[in-house]
Amino acid sequence: MGIPDRFAYSASKGAVLMMTRSVACDYISDKIRCNSISPGRVHTPFVDKYLKDNYAGREDKMFEKLSAAQPIGRMGQPEEIASLAVFLASDESTFITGADYEIDGGFNNLRP
Domain that holds residue 33: 7-110
Q: Is residue 95 part of a domain?
A: yes
**Rounded mean pLDDT of the chain?**
94
Q: What is the CATH number of the domain that holds 71?
A: 3.40.50.720
pLDDT in tens, 30-72: 999 999 999 999 999 999 999 999 999 999 999 999 999 999 9
* Spatial contact of 101 and 38, defined as CB atoms under 8 Å apart: yes
Q: Is residue 2 part of a domain?
A: no
Total number of domains constituting the chain: 1
DSSP letter at 36 equals E
Give the pLDDT band (50/70/90) at residue 27.
very high
Q: Is residue 1 part of a domain?
A: no
- Which are the catalytic amino acids? 9
Q: Is residue 44 part of a domain?
A: yes
Q: Which residues contact 64 (CB under 8 A, 6 or more apart)?
A: none
